[in-house]
Chain A
Amino acid sequence: MTATLADDRSVRLSAGPLVRRPKTTRIAGMMLAVPATVFLALFLLVPAVRLVASGFLTQDAHGALGGPVTLAHYVHFFGTALYSHVLLVTLRISLLTAAIAALLGYPVAMVMVRSHPAVTRIVTFITIAPLIVSVVVRSYGWQLILGNGPTGILNWVLLSLGLIQTPLRLLYSETAVVIGSLHVFLPMMVLPLASALGKIDPHLEEAARTLGMPAWRVFHRVTFPLSLPGLAVGFTLVFSLTAGSFVTPAMLGGTNAQMLGNLIDQQITAVYDWPFGATIATVLVLIVVGVNLVSMRLLEGRRRMPATS
């Protein structure tokens, strides 16, 4: 009985600097992280290092990688108009998707947070539901809807209603990829936004309104700034996932809206130029990391600005 009491106390006070858990407990605690760490080291870190290294190696006639170390692949990538264009398209599609996801996501997240619990549950389910269906299936669906001929569902509807005279050319375009990506990644925006909005004390908005601000200005001055951490997470997620996507641009973008992912696929599986594929992959990852750092910095900076002004 006394032993149990003592144990309880040591656990409760373990955060304090004066009380330490027994050494064996601490080691046992660290051991718990070992399997995952080993797994990640073996199957993520090592291949990643090899991938980056491949981009600086030369491939001989038999396809084996070796010396000399070279920057030729990078020069080739940035020197060729086609590749720069694909890079630009990738950035444009990803930024646009993330931005539109934010615009669409805010109202949904607001409803999710502010409504009756039953409504919240339904909206949450509807938001998450697309994740249950495979990306391939969803992209096929969009192919049917956006089909360029008069038989594409959207074109057929618009033509029947007399709203357009000639079929729209939506499929195999950047627009189609943005639409498809939005459909897939919107939950990644809504969920962090809802979480951030849910943490805002409703009294803050009430206080702002009693102080004389109409509702839309309250959103601008109070709700939006306080939800920025959620927006930062959502934006990062949607941007990164879109930039790295492969299936959606392959099925909805065709050759008009190729993205870096498709380029990598071509280089590895069709051209068998592994060093160049590795180069593109490295560029892709660096860009994603770079954009994320910039967006985080902007959002964080905005949030901290009042403290320094």
Chain B
Amino acid sequence: MVALLGPSGCGKTTSLRMIAGLVQPTSGEIFIDGRPVTGIPVHRRNIGMLFQNYALFPHMTVAENIAFGLEARRVSRAETIERVNDVLQLVQLGGFGDRMPAQLSGGQQQRVALARCLVVEPALLLLDEPLGALDKSLRESMQVELRALQQRLGITTIIVTHDQDEALTLSDRVAIMRGGRLEQLGTPTEVYEMPASRFVAGFIGVSNFFRGRVERRDAGEARIVTATGEALVVEGGAADHDEVTVALRPEAIVIEPLSDDACDAANSVVGSVEQVVYRGFVRHTYLRMDNGETLIAFQPSRPGSEGAAVIAPGARARARWAAGSNRIVRDERAG
């Protein structure tokens, strides 16, 4: 399962519609199973597409909706009934065949729409923001269900979403798109922990960024100094040019009370705590660095040890992190 992830208007739905054949690409070729399908009309591509609003036919029963693709393929009546019943069981809607779509809840309509795609045994399943219309708790349970079903059936699936949690939860690989272009393609772990660009680092999760010059390159690491004098050590260190951007995940940062030792160490900045936001299992600390910029740090709250680790807003504090947390990213803004 591949997720197309990106902000609205980045071309992910258009890409999906091109794969489906609902819009023609102005250039380029589309392949399904190694077969070029660019010139093949929609109805002969053998795909299943799940629409955001489900697009169930309001004048047909659930069973007739599901049988639609079989009707299009001129499957015999007996086989149709059997396959419709099987797929209704699969999506846990056995006995709902005679209902009209309007009589079903959003989650049930979603399953009918899914069953309608699955019953034709498509070569490719396309999901366009499939869970966007559901409320949060239903969405999360449907995510798990959808993932289990897809793995059981083993259908290649492309899902379009603007919800990064959904993309990370559901898919084996995530394609992050921006302005009609692919920014990065990788496993959820790769795109989160090793973002290729500043955009990806900022779009998936939260990142702090430092811009600086490479001052020194050693074996296995590089020392980078920002314009305002902060020093960073980056593992791997393979930076081609001298001006680089470093991304840093907030959860990698440790905030501690100011002490005298190691005040000039790399990967460590001093500032005053501006705000501490309690978010349940995590505490967001906004640290105003001495260069004027703000650093965000996420620190796990540990119930029981309450109070001791919390630094009150206004106090001076030090943020430090391991060199391995720094990640040099491509930065379009740097030119």
Contact present for A212 and B61 (CB under 8 Å): no
Contact present for A207 and B43 (CB under 8 Å): no
Q: Per-residue 0/1 for A177-198: is the Cβ within 8 Å of any B Cβ (1 yes, 0 no)?
A: 0000000000000000000000
Q: What are 8 sample pairs from A and B whose C-beta atoms fall under 8 A apart?
A: A203-B51, A207-B51, A210-B43, A212-B46, A215-B43, A226-B58, A306-B61, A306-B64
Contact present for B22 and A222 (CB under 8 Å): no
Assembly CA distance A79 to B327 (angstroms): 99
Most chain B CB inside 10 Å of its own CB: which residue of A208, A217, A306: A306
Contact present for A210 and B47 (CB under 8 Å): yes
A258 to chain B, nearest CB (A): 42
**Which of A210, A303, A306 has a CB less than 8 Å from the CB of B22?**
A210
- A212-B43, A213-B72 known; A206-B59 Cβ under 8 A: no
Tell me which residues across on chain B come within 8 A of A201, comparing CB atoms. Answer: 53, 55
Contact present for B120 and A307 (CB under 8 Å): no
Contact present for A303 and B51 (CB under 8 Å): no
B241 to chain A, nearest CB (A): 46
Tell me which residues across on chain B come within 8 A of A208, comparing CB atoms. Answer: 57, 68, 72
Contact present for B55 and A225 (CB under 8 Å): no
The 7 closest A-B pairs by CB, nearest first: A212-B72, A211-B69, A207-B55, A203-B55, A213-B72, A210-B49, A209-B42
Tell me which residues across on chain B come within 8 A of A217, comparing CB atoms. Answer: 72
Contact present for B68 and A213 (CB under 8 Å): yes
- A206-B22, A306-B64 known; A212-B55 Cβ under 8 A: no
Most chain A CB inside 10 Å of its own CB: which residue of B20, B53, B57: B57
Q: Beyond the given A204-B57, A210-B21, A306-B64, please list 13 additional residue pairs across the A-B interface where CB-CB is below 8 A.
A: A201-B55, A208-B72, A210-B22, A210-B47, A211-B43, A211-B69, A211-B120, A212-B44, A212-B46, A213-B43, A213-B68, A214-B41, A222-B57
Tell me which residues across on chain B come within 8 A of A215, comparing CB atoms. Answer: 43
Q: Per-residue 0/1 for B88-102: is the Cβ within 8 Å of any A Cβ (1 yes, 0 no)?
A: 000000000000100
Chain A at the B interface: SS class: helix
Assembly CA distance A198 to B45 (angstroms): 28
**Which of B51, B61, B64, B71 has a CB less than 8 Å from the CB of A206?**
B51
**Which of A211, A225, A303 has a CB less than 8 Å from the CB of B72?**
A211
Assembly CA distance A8 to B43 (angstroms): 52
Contact present for A209 and B55 (CB under 8 Å): no
B48 within 8 A of partner (CB): yes
B73 within 8 A of partner (CB): yes
Chain B interface residue bracket vs A: 20 to 34
- A201-B53, A217-B72, A307-B100 known; A210-B48 Cβ under 8 A: yes
Tell me which residues across on chain A come within 8 A of B58, comparing CB atoms. Answer: 226
Contact present for B61 and A221 (CB under 8 Å): no
Tell me which residues across on chain B come within 8 A of A204, comparing CB atoms. Answer: 55, 57
Kindly identify, within residues 288 to 309 of chain A, every residue whose CB is under 8 Å from any CB belonging to chain B.
303, 306-307, 309
Assembly CA distance A208 to B47 (angstroms): 11
Assembly CA distance A203 to B57 (angstroms): 10
Contact present for B120 and A212 (CB under 8 Å): yes
Tell me which residues across on chain B come within 8 A of A226, comparing CB atoms. Answer: 57-59
Assembly CA distance A225 to B51 (angstroms): 21
**Which of A203, A213, A214, A225 has a CB less than 8 Å from the CB of B59?**
A225
B265 within 8 A of partner (CB): no
Tell me which residues across on chain A come within 8 A of B42, comparing CB atoms. Answer: 206, 209-210
Assembly CA distance A210 to B20 (angstroms): 7
Tell me which residues across on chain B come within 8 A of A306, comparing CB atoms. Answer: 59-61, 64, 100
A224 to chain B, nearest CB (A): 10
The residue of chain A having its C-beta at the shortest distance from the C-beta of B67 within the complex is A211
Assembly CA distance A222 to B48 (angstroms): 18
**Which of A206, A207, A209, A212 has a CB less than 8 Å from the CB of B73?**
A212
Most chain A CB inside 10 Å of its own CB: which residue of B22, B53, B116: B22
B79 to chain A, nearest CB (A): 15
Tell me which residues across on chain A come within 8 A of B46, comparing CB atoms. Answer: 212
Kindly identify, within residues 208 to 246 of chain B, every residue whose CB is under 8 Å from any CB belonging to chain A.
none
B239 to chain A, nearest CB (A): 46
Assembly CA distance A205 to B13 (angstroms): 17
Tell me which residues across on chain A come within 8 A of B126, comparing CB atoms. Answer: 210
- A210-B20, A210-B47, A303-B59 known; A221-B68 Cβ under 8 A: yes
